[in-house]
Structure 1
Amino acid sequence: MHEETSFLRPEALPPGTEVGQWRVVEKLGVGGYGAVYGVEDVHHPGASHLLALKLALRPGDLRAEREVVLLMEKAVHPHVVRFHGCGRWPDPTEGHTYHVMDRVRGQPLDVWAETLNPSFLRFAEVGAKLALTLGELHGRGVFHRDVKPDNILIRETDGEPVLVDFGVGDYVGAAPLTSTPLPPGTTHLRSPEAMRFWLERGQRSGKQYAVGPADDLYALGASLCRAVTGHYPFSPRLPADVLGVMIATWRAHAPQDFNRRIPRALSDVLARMLAKEPGKHYRDGAEVHDALLSAAAFGGRAQWEASLFEWEEVLAAGKGEAPRRIRRPAHPTRPVTPDEPRVRLLPAHPSVGRRGRGPRAEAQAPSPARRQAWGLAMRRSSWAVVLGLGLVLPGIWLLAVHFSGSQRAPESARAEPSLPAALRSRGGEVARAPELPDAGSAAAPLPMESTPAAAAPAEARVTKGPPMKKPQQTTPDASPQQESGSVGRVLGTTAAVCVGLACASAQVRPANADCPAETRTVMEELGLRPKNGPTIITDIQQGEPGPTEDQTHAIVRSGPIISKMLIAYGQLPEGTLLFGKVFTESTNVYGRYDRAQTPDGKTYPVCFTLGNNAEDGLEKLPGSQPGAAHISRVVPITAVKRFVFKEPRKEEEEE
């Protein structure tokens, strides 16, 4: 038998192939580490009860061997798939590990919920049994580590939930499967504890996260939410780094925010299963089991006996009864965010937005036909107005300068400088939290350099061309010519520069500069080590990333910016605001921060740059345009001793 099967590939066994005492009937699926086949016992051919055989794709696979140990000995339970035997193939001592288990005929948890559309009471019962099963396994030191709807099957014969696929499972005393900080698992179902470990220490400490009951129970809570709402707490389509930050720090929507049919008590239990802090979620599976069953005592009986979703009628393709499908609830549009930063919006002036709202305005409002005529006239005259203003206004300004000479307005009459763009907001202004008297001094202002424009200077362009003719004498038949220095010459020069020759604007890029010595001293005292840094919300004016894929990008422009730390770093706590500037004219986006303000109002001088590398900045995302760069709303920053601008290569810019 060994010679006949040695040439076969483990992921492509044809029907009739014998693996030990089992004969392959059909292939059920292939994954990254193993292939699953429907098999029968060669000693009882044609039996109605087919089994499932899982064959490792590589000999000596530690995952396959561990799964055998778990199913055969440590994880035996009525709600865990039953084990029947194991061995190696094709060589009995050095071949691929395989094991045989029940072939559970049933649907994954989420498919079952959307296909059968059971009652909330039945759903809570299934969830309670799963929680109790996990609790009992945890008591034996066994952890599934990949609890998700696909690994929870609802058996057709009796409707009981069954846990399957312990391929990345773990038990006390087992050797680690990998050397990575986090064990194998599904990103959007990892616990807040695991994600905080990754964000705070796992990326650079070399330590490994210790899985516990909270990891399986959080994944169960997220899976139950997916089944009862049609959505995960955080979308799997989000980038992995954004998912990590949101799971670690963001409060997810309550299930009732998605599906209004959910009883409030059930929604509260599921929301508590997703709590961020260890002291706020359930301690073990038994406590979750009791909470789910007790929740049914609250609320009306009719609400608990109602189906999970509303049914939606579907037009039948032919004769017969029209099929039905559930109406999946929409994702909530209101984002759930942490506490507001210490930056507040001041109310707008009472007159803002109220112009033309009184009775007089309504009485004078033009009719629709008249408004349409006005719109047509305005469109036809728009270019004339723009060109006229472009010619006249600069000329008037130059004329005023010409006649005013060196006169300057007194200091008291000068206008106050306007707020930076990052501190403006529609309908009001943004005020910073007051600084305490003991606040540290800010770092030196970020230096800037002006890059000369590629175009020739405007003055050189004006004088280029044929020489000017002498003014002609004014006669009754000739048009008057303006003398040198008159308004006519000013207007003519301005028109030539601004209309015919397109004024060139200078680009701004960051200059290389050392972090001030006093700032480096403060950073050392705060434990802010160079070449490391926290994760931040890029621009608090644009808000935090939402739970959907289209809420992950921020649009930044050159100028001031305020960011917010999502995790603590050194002695700077979570929620610290960072003040700095961004530069978007280059191929990448560069940002420099020179001041940090903690939630209690204290400020410190700092030196941080955008990105993981002090020189490279951040790559622009698709959709970026000149002056408006798209980057992620959640990005890393790096503490530095020197601000360095890496000039992009010419070939990189051309690409």
Structure 2
Amino acid sequence: MTTAHPLGFLRPGALIDSFRVVKALGEGANGMVLLVKRRGRRFALKLARCREVSDDVAKTNQRMTRELGCLIHLEHPNIIRARAWGHYPDLIGDYSYLVLDYVDGWTLAEWLEKVRPTFKQVAHVFMKLADALDYMHRQGVFHRDISLSNVLIRKDDGEPFIVDFGAGDFANARELTEGPLPPGTNRFRAPEAVTFWNEHRLDFSARYPFQAKDDQYALAVCLYDALTDAETAKDPEQRAARRITVNSPVMGPPPAPREANPCVPEALSALVAGAVEHDTAQRLPTLEALRGGLEALADPGGAEWEAPVFAPTVSAPRAGMSGRRRGRRRKVAAVGAVVVATVAAFALLRELSPTPEAPGLPAPESVPHAKAPDVLPPSRAAPPAAGVPSAAPVASAQKEAPTVSAPKPPQRQPTPEQPKPALRPTFTPEFLARCAGYTLAAQVAAGCPASQVRPEREACTAEAREYMSRLRANDDENLALLLDVNQPGFSSTYGVYRTGKYIGAIPRDRDILKKGWRVEGYLWTEGKYVVGRYTKVFPAPGAIDASGDPLPREVPICIVLGNDSRFEGLEKLEGSKPGAVVLRHQVIARYIYGEWTQP
């Protein structure tokens, strides 16, 4: 069974059964979306294909079948409708497809930036989305990837549509999840899901019990962003300020929207603060409560509700907002007959100004909280902007985690700095990787060390030097390195790190090394400098070296942090604490051919 890319022979004018291709709307890791016509009417055709990193064609088709299973249960004016489905080029062909209503519109992220809607317009859009999501749950369907990218706003009337059920689920659906969390966009996961991932990320048999409240929280985050983020559709590198963290169990709930954007009406700010509350006992209880609260507030309106959320010239609200505060209690009260959240006092929000970026890397956005990170799995690969009449790529800040979209409508106690040992520790990398996933209590029970002691010196192996030569990597040559793909740092400039094993990535093409290739390494954070050594790279399937010979799936390599050949290491940034070191998410590193050295 072939898995070749179908775009080469699906030119404009080609037929997929009775649907004539007009143009490609976009492409993602799991397929593509085409604008097609039948009897003069336009539709969006979502064509599945096996991911390049997978040889499981059957599972690719099963995911589309499950997406269809979600859609055939639903008939709501604000949810995309499926009109036909099949296989191409014949009934037992290689490619399964869905035909959906076509929406000529923007993603919600684009609409917020382009239209600059009023508070009343935003409220009415989210009233309809809350109603649609509530209806969906009553039919036994979960979307599981509600985000600013998976809502389309029709241009001619501003009507919203929930799209892209590629991560959806329904009662009795076949289990396709391959890890603790279902596919989704990390920013919009509920704090309970983040906590579950932190506790089970090394247990691939664990499964998070996704519930309606998870979809509800994701919609609340979309509304929070609509009120606090003036750059919803921008790439992270183009933003004037990083987005406020919303779902970190360590950092706690985000500040009320009015703290970030003083133009937000006070009652609306209280309602949304209750909707993104971390304590489920104090969180807004239902989607109907959110919908009713918006209706009760927006319909009477007032002058402040007719004002735009952000003026057209505004680029970002309060650059550097960290969202820190010393108090964190909010209580939910009633507005009329509807549940509305009121916000307890927030203490001082500290603004942290960015420090100069390392040469050749993007400018920083702002320094985040100096707290231990909530590690999250990588979001789903970015899909096409289906339903939007453009084949242009979608900004990663706007579209972080979908499959192909369907168109239309423990905190460790600080430990004293350890002296350099004369001998290497006896702990194996496998043992340490296992310990990295335990809470503090579990570490004690398992006999895991508080941190791996950094070895004094170690020569780069002859095998690693040989492969670096095959990769055209020169001794002391600098490169950009993404330290940890599991932190939600693809969309932020800074991360928080502790001693342990990490999976990083190459953030941009570099001769034979290509953007997205994973690298494995270890960071030591106890000393004056952060020392890091990345010793494996995982090329993409089919990758070749400088001579054209194929590369294995795992290649030994020697990469150290820092660009100073006199020693290895990076300085800790402002806000670092023992056990929680602040570093840039992308740093300068270098290849070495000799011995590791000490700072």
Q: Is TM more than 0.5 here?
A: yes
| Secondary structure of 2:21's aligned partner | strand
Contact 1:282 1:288 in 2 (8 A): yes
Residue matched to 1:21: 18
2:35 is matched with which residue? 38
Residue of 45, 52, 56 corresponding to 1:53 = 45
Q: 1:633, 1:236 → 2: CA distance?
A: 27
| 2:76 aligned counterpart, secondary structure | coil
Q: 1:280 to 1:255 in 2, by over 3 A?
A: same
Whole-angstrom CA distance in 1 between matches of 2:277 and 2:152:
26
Q: How does 1:314-329 map to 2 (within 5 A)?
A: 326-329=314-317
The Cα offsets for residues 364-403 of structure 1, whole Å up to 9 and x where unpaired, read as: xxxxxxxxxxxxxxxxxxxxxxxxxxxxxxxxxxxxxxxx
Tell me the secondary structure at the aligned position of residue 289 of structure 1: helix
Question: In structure 1, the residue corresponding to 2:127 is in which secondary structure?
Answer: helix
Letter in 1 for 2:596: E
The CA deviation at 1:339 is 6.2
Deviations 1:527-559 (A, max 9, x none): 63234889xxxxxxxxxx999945535899xxx
Moved more, 219-228 or 17-26: 219-228
Corresponding residue number in structure 2 for 1:333 = 321
Secondary structure of 1:55's counterpart equals: strand
Question: Residues 531 and 568 of structure 2 are in contact (CA less than 8 Å); yes or no, is this contact kept in structure 1?
Answer: no
Q: Distance in 1 between matches of 2:195 and 2:569?
A: 35
Aligned to 2:222: 223
Give the whole-Å Cα distance in 1 for the aligned partners of 2:414 and 2:252: 31
The residue that corresponds to 1:201 in the other structure is 200
Counterpart position of 1:65: 65
Structure 1 residues 263 and 512, CA, compared in 2 at 3 Å: closer, same or farther?
A: same
Determine which of 294, 297, 305 is the counterpart of 1:295: 297
Q: CA deviation at 1:161?
A: 0.8
Change (3 A) 1:124 1:176: same
Q: Distance in 1 between matches of 2:426 and 2:78?
A: 63
Mapped to 1, the partners of 2:230 and 2:164 lie a distance apart of 23
Greater Cα radius of gyration, structure 1 or 2: 1
1:585: Cα distance to partner?
7.0
Instruction: Write the letter of the residue equivalent to 1:552.
Output: G
2:319 match: secondary structure:
coil
> Matched residue of 2:595: which SS?
helix
Q: CA deviation at 1:282?
A: 2.3
Residue deviations 1:265-322 (CA, integer Å, cap 9, x gap): 1112222221112112222221211122123378x7101111211233xxxxxxxxxx
Aligned residue type for 1:89 = Y
Correspondence for 2:362: none
Note closer, same or farther for the CA distance 1:510–1:106 as it changes in structure 2 (3 Å cut): farther
Counterpart for residue 355 of structure 1: none
Counting only pairs closer than 5 Å after superposition, residues 8-157 of structure 1 correspond to structure 2 as: 9-12=5-8, 13-41=10-38, 44=39, 47=40, 49-58=41-50, 59-60=57-58, 61=60, 62-71=62-71, 73-157=72-156
Residue identity over aligned pairs, in percent, reads 29
Distance, in Å, in 2 between the alignment partners of 1:147 and 1:54 is 19
Q: Deviations over 1:104-124 (max 9, x none)?
A: 111111221222222211211
Letter in 2 for 1:583: G
Task: Report SS of the residue matched to 1:68.
Answer: helix
- Structure 1 residues 264 and 102 mapped into 2: Cα distance closer, same or farther (>3 Å)? same
- Whether the 8 Å contact between 2:568 and 2:597 is mirrored in structure 1 is no
SS in 2 for 1:26: strand
C-alpha separation in 2, matches of 1:151 and 1:447:
48
Structure 1 pair 293–635 and aligned structure 2 pair: CA distance change class (3 A) = farther
Distance of 2:227 and 2:425 partners within structure 1 = 55
In structure 1, list runs of 5 or more residues that go unmatched: 1-5, 313-325, 341-441, 449-507, 516-522, 535-544, 557-580, 590-617, 638-647
Q: 1:511 to 1:332 in 2, by over 3 A?
A: same
Partner residue in 2 for 1:170? 169
Alignment of 1:447-466 (within 5 A): 448=419
SS of equivalent residue, structure 1 residue 246: coil
> What residue identity is the alignment partner of 2:65?
E
How many angstroms apart in 1 are the aligned matches of 2:450 and 2:198? 10
Q: 1:528 maps to what in 2?
A: 445
What is the alpha-carbon distance in structure 2 between the residues aligned to residue 28 and residue 510 of structure 1?
Answer: 60
Please tell me the residue identity of whatever aligns with 2:295: L
Match of 1:582 in 2: 526
More helix by percentage:
1
Secondary structure, counterpart of 1:653 in structure 2: coil
> 5 Å matches for 1:498-513?
508-509=420-421
Deviation at 1:513, TM superposition (A): 8.8
Do structure 1's residue 629 and structure 2's residue 571 form an aligned pair? yes
Change (3 A) 1:555 1:67: closer
Work out the CA distance in 2 between the residues paired with 1:244 and 1:120. Answer: 21
Q: Which residue of 2 aligns with 1:552?
A: 495
Check whether the contact 2:142–2:212 (CA below 8 A) recurs between aligned residues.
yes
Structure 2 matches for 1:422-433, cutoff 5 A?
A: none
In the alignment, is residue 192 of structure 1 matched against residue 191 of structure 2?
yes
* Partner secondary structure for residue 288 of structure 1: helix
Secondary structure at the aligned position of 1:188 is classed as: helix
The residue correspondences of 1:474-489 to structure 2 (distance < 5 A) are none
Q: Which amino acid aligns with 1:294?
A: A
Contact 2:44 2:102 in 1 (8 A): yes
Alpha-carbon distance in 2 for matches of 1:230, 1:23: 40
Corresponding position of 1:454? none
Residues 1:213 and 1:524: Cα distance change in structure 2 (over 3 Å): closer
User: Which one has more relative contact order, counting CA pairs under 8 Å at least 6 apart?
Assistant: 2
Q: Which secondary structure does the structure 1 equivalent of 2:124 belong to?
A: helix
Q: Residue deviations 1:623-653, cap 9 Å, x none?
A: 998897338959989xxxxxxxxxx996233
State the aligned residue count: 388
Distance, in Å, in 2 between the alignment partners of 1:179 and 1:531 is 27
Equivalent residues in 2 for 1:545-624 (5 A)? 549=492, 552=495, 582-584=526-528, 587-588=531-532
Normalised by the size of structure 1, how large is the TM-score?
Answer: 0.51
**Alignment partner of 1:552: what SS?**
strand
Equivalent AA in structure 1 for residue 319 of structure 2: H
Task: Give the secondary structure class of the aligned counterpart of 1:251.
Answer: coil
Deviations 1:19-49 (A, max 9, x none): 11111111111111111111111xx2xx2x3
Return the letter of the residue paired with 1:250.
G
Kindly provide the amino acid, as one letter, of the partner of residue 150 in structure 2.
Answer: N
Residues in 1 aligned to 2:11 and 2:116: alpha-carbon distance in whole angstroms: 38
Distance 1:621 1:268 in 2: 45
What corresponds to 1:252 in structure 2?
254
CA offset at residue 327 of structure 1? Answer: 4.6
Matched residue SS, 1:582: coil
In structure 2, how many angstroms separate the alpha carbons of the residues matched to 1:7 and 1:527? 48
TM-score norm. by structure 2 comes to 0.56
Q: Distance in 1 between matches of 2:113 and 2:121?
A: 13
**Cα 1:175/1:156, change in 2 over 3 Å:** same
Distance 1:266 1:244, change over 3 A: closer
Measured after TM superposition, the shift of residue 243 of structure 1 is 7.3
Task: Tell me if the contact between 1:37 and 1:53 (Cα under 8 Å) persists in the aligned partners.
Answer: yes
Contact 2:414–2:578 (8 Å) recurs in 1: no
Deviation at 1:54, TM superposition (A): 0.6
Q: Which residue of 2 aligns with 1:644?
A: none
The structural deviation recorded for 1:244 is: 10
Q: 1:50 to 1:622 in 2, by over 3 A?
A: farther
Q: Please list the CA deviations of residues 307-366 of structure 1 after superposition, one character each: whole Å capped at 9, or x if unmatched.
A: 211233xxxxxxxxxxxxx554233535415669xxxxxxxxxxxxxxxxxxxxxxxxxx
Q: Distance in 2 between matches of 1:525 and 1:31?
A: 40
Letter in 2 for 1:81: I
